[in-house]
Every structure is written in C-alpha cells, then in structure tokens.
Amino acid sequence: MAIAIICSGGDAPGMNPAIKKFVDYVYKCEQTPYFIYDGLEGMIDGNIKKADHKDVAGIIHIGGAIIGSSRSKRFYEYKYRKQAFENLQKHDINKIIVLGGDGSYNAFGVFAKEFPISFIGIPTTIDNDIYGTEYCLGVDTALNVIRSAVDSIRDTASTFKRAFVVETMGRECGYLAAVTAISSGAEVCVIPEMNFNKKVAKHYLKKDIAEGRRYILAIVAEGTKATTDIKEWLENEIGMETRISVLGHIQRGGNPTVHDRMMAFEFVVRGVALLLKEEMIHQAIGYQNGDFVSMEISVVNSGKYSVPDNILKDLHYLD
Ligand code: F6P
C-alpha cells in the first residue's frame, strides 16, 4: 500500500525527524512510503516520488524539511485540487500524513470532501496555535532559539542600561511570547490574548528603576502589532533608551531539540498506524494531558486554540 507524507505551510524544526521516522516506519509495516515534494504546490505539479531509506539518512538533526514546503494559492481553486488528486492516483496514493498548521488542515479538509483520500494531520507549527493539541511540532526548538537570542540581548541591555523590545512570531497567537517572557524573566509581555495595562506597568517599572533596575526586557508577540508602540512607551513614559529586535525567521530554523525529535517519532508512528487501520479517515493527532489523542479534522478546524490559563496567570500587568 502506498502512503505519502507532505509538509505544508510554514516549516518547523521537527519535520525532518518526522520524515525520517515516516520512511523507516512505513517500510517496517511492509508498505511503500512516498514523498510529496514542495507542499501543495508540488502535489499540484505531480512532484511525487517513492522514498527510500537512503533519502532520509543523516537528516534527523537538521531544521527545515528536506522535501520542501509551500503556501499554495492555486490549491484554493477546484481545478488544481482535481489535478493534485489525479497526480496522487498515478501512484495509487490515497493515504497521506500531513505535517502542517491550521491552513493546511483546512486545505485537506476541503480536499477530502471532494476526493476519496484519507489523511492524518500532525500539528506542525512554531506558533502552537492548533485547536485540540497542547503541543505542535517545532515549538520547543523555536522557544530555545528565542531563549538564546533573549539571553544575548540581556547582556547588552544590562551593560547599556537600555530597554529592548523583542518581537516574536506566532501569528495571532501569543504562546511563544508568553512562554519566552516567563522563562526569560522578562518584565513586560504583550500578547494578543490579553490587554497590557500600561498604567500599572509604569507604576512598578518606575519604582524598580528608582531602586536600581538597569534594563527592561519586553517580549511582544507579532500578532499585537504593538512593537513600535511599546518602544515609544518605554522611551517616553518609562524614560529608558530602547531598541527593537525583531527575531523573524531565525525562529523557524535550528536543529530540532530532543523533545521535538521524540514528539516527531510519536506523532508519525500513531499517524501511520491510524492510516493503515482505517479504510477512510480524516483526523488530526493531538497531545493532551500527557497523552496522544486523535480528533476529527472538522472538530479541529472549527475550534480555536487558547493559551492555557496556567501560563497567562504568570505574566505581569495583563488584564
Ligand atoms: O506560521 C508560522 C509563521 O512563522 C508565523 O509565525 C509567521 O507569522 C509566518 O509563519 C510567517 O510567514 P512567512 O514565512 O510566509 O513569511
């Protein structure tokens, strides 16, 4: 039986360990693994190839995805989805592991309503914003990349008595910013989920400065679009020279951490097992309360992820 893997949307560290496990495990199950290269764009263009053990040798420690990924505008059009299905048919593929985020889940939700394909989604995005799972592949690596950057910024901030606004990725989700702020001991954290109370923050930061505080770290989630505003507030209201550091795409790179490798293996083995067990299935795997679960894709696609309260409660000056 042919089973394919595709990476779709923003890449995340952990994709390569997942791809390696996929090939090894599918062969172990005596089935045939296929790669769909370059995401949905590659599926439309028929960029599909049988995978071999040697294709995945020496990739376990590398960020990104050796099979490529893409965001596809063409896939919104029925004619291209039909073309993609016909390409899959040429290889007798009707079972697919999808490494991607909510955009990819939505795309496959539509695709599977129109054509007889089975798929299992594996939550893969540094944003950690998929409903039904506490963890998405790539998040631990991204958090460690951010931690390393913030540790370095703190060195220069404290030397120069400056404030720094560090902007993290995450789209509309403040998870990366919130966990970074807590684990880096940042004074300020601004996320889309809650209101940042400037008045209360000003009171305490001014007091701290009067007592000898030399620097301020402010972690701002990109989804707030408040990076410049917070910089101006720190300079004009708090009275500290301020610099902005937008971390950008370095957050998507880096060698996958041990945690991301282990999670990749667990997700993939479960995903392949489900595809082999069920004739027709459209689900996503999630991680909840220390265990792996699978949920109908329609449920995942209609839900909204929220940052857990136990994280939000540890942030300062939010209401
Ligand atoms: O979804 C992952 C992500 O890195 C977001 O955090 C960010 O907003 C977006 O992708 C950036 O997209 P692109 O790589 O297309 O610029």
pLDDT mean over 65-83 = 98
Q: Give the torsion sign (CA, 132, 247, 191, 203).
A: positive
- CA–CA separation, 275 vs 264, rounded Å? 16
For residue 65, the CA-to-ligand 1 centroid distance in Å is: 15
Number of C-beta neighbours around residue 188 at 10 A: 26
pLDDT mean over 148-152 = 98
Nearest to 148 by CA among 250, 218, 262, 263: 250
For residue 171, the CA-to-ligand 1 centroid distance in Å is: 7
In order of start, what are the domains of the chain with their CATH numbers? 2-138+256-304 (3.40.50.450), 139-252 (3.40.50.460)
Q: Which atom of ligand 1 is nearest to the CA of 169?
A: 6
Q: Give the torsion sign (CA, 218, 223, 226, 231).
A: positive
% residues pLDDT > 90 (the chain): 99
pLDDT mean over 9-33 = 98
**Phi (first) and psi of residue 134, to 5 degrees:** -80, -20
Q: Is pLDDT above 90 for 319?
A: no
- The pLDDT tens digits of the residues spanning 19-28 come to 999 999 999 9
Q: Which atom of ligand 1 is nearest to the CA of 252?
A: 4
Catalytic residues: 127
pLDDT mean over 257-270 = 98
- CA–CA separation, 66 vs 92, rounded Å? 23
- CA–CA separation, 80 vs 252, rounded Å? 29
Pocket of ligand 1 (CB under 6 A): 10, 101, 125-127, 169-171, 222, 252
Output the average pLDDT for the chain.
Answer: 97
Residues sharing a CB contact under 8 Å with residue 143, sequence separation 6 or more, in sequence order:
176, 179, 180, 183
